[in-house]
Each structure stands twice: as C-alpha cells, then as structure tokens.
Structure 1
Amino acid sequence: MKRITTSLLAVALLAGATAASAQTTFRLGLRGGANRALTTVDGASNFINGINLFYSADKLPVYAWQAGAVLEMSFGKLALQPALVFSQKGEKLHTYYSSGDYALYYTETTSTNRYNWLELPLNVVYTLHGDHGLQAFAGPYVALAVGGNQQGTVYRTISVRTAPQDFDTQVSYGPNTNNRRLDAGVNFGVGYRQGPLQVQLGYALGLRNLHQDGGTFYYDYGHNFNADAAYNRVAQLTGTYFFSL
C-alpha cells in the first residue's frame, strides 16, 4: 500500500510538472519603436541676484528611437518579458549666463543632446485574454551609457558680442566628467496584444541622477549646467513581433 501511495504521488507530481511545463510558453521577439525623451530641469538651474548675476536653463524633448530583442515567458494571462534594447534619449537645451553690471559679460548656448543607452528592462505584462487583448505592464530597468553626441551653438559677449561658435562633440562618461554611466528606473504603461504582435505605450521614469560634479564647466563658464541634477523621462511607443521557440 505504501508503495502504491508513493507511486501515485510520484505520478501526480510528474503530471503536475508536465502540466505546468505545458502552460509555460517561451517566445523571442524583435522590438522597435520611438522615444519622446527629456531630462528634468533642476531647480538650481534658474538663479538671479539683482543685476550682477543671472543664469537659466530650459529644456525641450527630442524624438529618438529604440530597437532590440525581447524574451517572453508567459503563464496564461501573465508574462515576464526581459529585454535588451538600444535606446536613444536626451533633450534640447537652452542655457543663459550673465554677470557684471548691465550684463557686460554673457554666454548663451543652444544644443541638441542625444545619449545612447544599452538598456535592460524587466517587465511583468498582464494580457486580458492571454494571447490577445488589452495589456498593462510595469517593471524596473537598468541602463549603461554607450556614447552620445551634443551639437549646438554658443553666443558670447565680453563688452562686445563675438561671432557665434558651433560645436559638435562626443559625450564622455566616467569619474572625471559630468556624466554618470549607469541609469536605473521603472517602466509602466498599457498595450494591446494580437497573437504574435504586441504594441505598447509606456513611460520610463529614471530614478538615478545622471550628472555629477566631476568635470569642467561645459560651454557656460559661469555656471556648470551639466552638474545640475538630471533624470531621464521618456515616453515610448514600441512594437514587438514574437516568434515561438
């Protein structure tokens, strides 16, 4: 009797494991999409002290792109979707600095800044009808900076206005720069799934300050705008097509 009970238990466990395995499906997807990217404006970026000192910073979003691969492990209506994507973020930046009575010295900069990230999002996705229907998703991400570019123009006046100077520079990272190489935050949003095709509208909320006071004044010599706190804020529209494994 004991042997029969043990055998039945073993069969039940094997059947349960087989059923659980059958309910779990694995897919590999290719993702592409568009980013509306911006970094926050730190409160310390706007300062005035009578007529002797004034500086300000204003930012606008840039439109960029992302592409990568997604691994899906689905369990009925729930799925775990880790991914590896190349994602471009940044902002359009306008800064102004003046000092001295009657602004005898000032410098003004306009630039478009694009930063390249290798990102690892890990999203938990709920699909209303399993393989189709409305979706909700959320999860953390970590990202590694792998380059970038800053293009713009500097206008300066030292008693008299000088000719504008254009610049086109590569972004550097590390302990002796203003830029941290690692970012982290959370993604969340909604989507729709129809068979192998998934479309999602999401938002990436960066939680790590991207700037550090470790470099030199960048373009504006009176105030180091790139040392002010900055966090990634990105709206994302992506499409993913999944292949069965």
Structure 2
Amino acid sequence: MTVNRLGRNPMYQQIADVLRAQIDTGGLEPGAKLPTEAELRDEYSVSRETVRKALGILVNEGLVVSARPQGHFVRRRQPMVFRPQAEFRERPYTPEMDAFVTEYSAEDREPRQEIEVAIVEPPTDVAKRLQLAPGDLVAVRKRVRYLDGEPFNTNDSYFPLSIVRDSEIMRPESISRGANEVLAELGHRQVRALDEIYVRMPVPDEVHRLDLGPGTPVGIHMTTGHTVEGRPVRVAVTTLPGDRHVISYERRREMTDEEA
C-alpha cells in the first residue's frame, strides 16, 4: 500500500492506512515500536501535524498505544473470552478463589479484582427489571476485573436489599461459591436468566473505571435472574471494552425423536 498526494483521502489518513495494514499483516508485530514522528515526516515528506493526526487515528482505533517519550507501540492484544452461558454451571472453586480468578489463573494470566459494596437507590433500568417499588433500596457489588494489570471489565450486581441484608453479599470480598448460590441458600434460587446485550460509547464513569482510550466502544451485558416463582432477584451489568473481549455463546439444537 502506498500514499498518493493526489489521492482522494488526505495524507494523514493514507499514512494511517499504511501503518494499519502493516499491523494487520504482521509487518508490525504486537509490542513493536512504530517509526518515530521524525522518521515518518521524512519518509512521506509531510508536516508534524499530519504525522500526529495519522498516529492519533491508530490510537483512537486501539491499535497503537502512546508511551511518551519512548514513542508509539503496537498494542498487545490477548482478548478475554466472555462466556455468559457459564453463569449457572457448577462451581468447584477453592475458598480463596472465585470463578473469574480461577478460570484465568488456569490460563497462566494474572487475574485480580477490586470489590466495593454499597446500599444505593437503584438506577431506573435496574429498578424496572427488579420490579421495585419507589423508595426501595438495593445492595450493589461493584467489581473491576483485571488481567495482567489491565482493567478488562466491570461487573456490577444489584440485589433487592430486603433479601440480601446481613448476608455474605454485603461483604466486599470474593464469594467462592458465587452470589447466585448465596441467593439460593437464602431461598431465592435463580432458574431463569434474561440476557440483554447493548453496544454503545462509554459514559465518563466507565472511561475512568476501565481506563479506556478515545473512541473505544463498550458492550453492555445485562442479566436479570428470576426464581421459579418468576421473581427477579438479581441484575448484573457487565461492561466489556470492545478492544479487550470476545463474547462467546454456545447454542445447541434439541434433537427430535426421529433424529435421536
């Protein structure tokens, strides 16, 4: 791929296209340093502003990170596979490690999470899904999950305060058997979950919690858990940066008697 001063696209866009192609084809491997601004100016006979616009495009796309004064580097990518269907599977975890920490420790990555617990008035969308009356409060467990030191996603789980008060859910620490099992022990086992997925640009709080770069979209996975009686008892909101995740669903078709 070459640049053309008489081309339809401006020079900074063409330079970005050339560098992007080198990243996509492996010419610039993860962790590789890009040519310096001075080298790019000389190579393409353009101004510093043009070079900076080109590099800015790649930074906004999440392909390149700026590490001044060292320069710009191809971003290392090792996406986290997010599996919503695993939520209700059996959890043979150790007392010290919950599902997230256990799964990614087994992949030779370094997981950790920060947990906060608070009693709050629920956001409107959460109150609606939990079918709460005006003035009802919820307990929220807010987690930021890290892999290899980088914040990968947030998981905020909301519970009607009336059913989880004084339970383990109110403690800001990992629950090895999972909050779902605690709810079951409290008499509110979930047998059905409604999953909703939204994709949008992040709000400022999400940018701060996840240290998001400019132009990074997020996926929002919202799960509402219901008991056998149909009562909603938990809403979990997971925020997934688009440059750090692959969402994986497994589906199976039920076989007919003739096919079995």
Greater Rg by CA: 1
Which protein has the bigger strand share? 1
Give me the TM-score of the superposition, normalised by structure 1: 0.31
Identify the structure with the greater helix proportion: 2
Relative contact order (alpha carbons < 8 A, sep ≥ 6): 1 or 2 greater? 1
**TM-score by structure 2 length?**
0.30
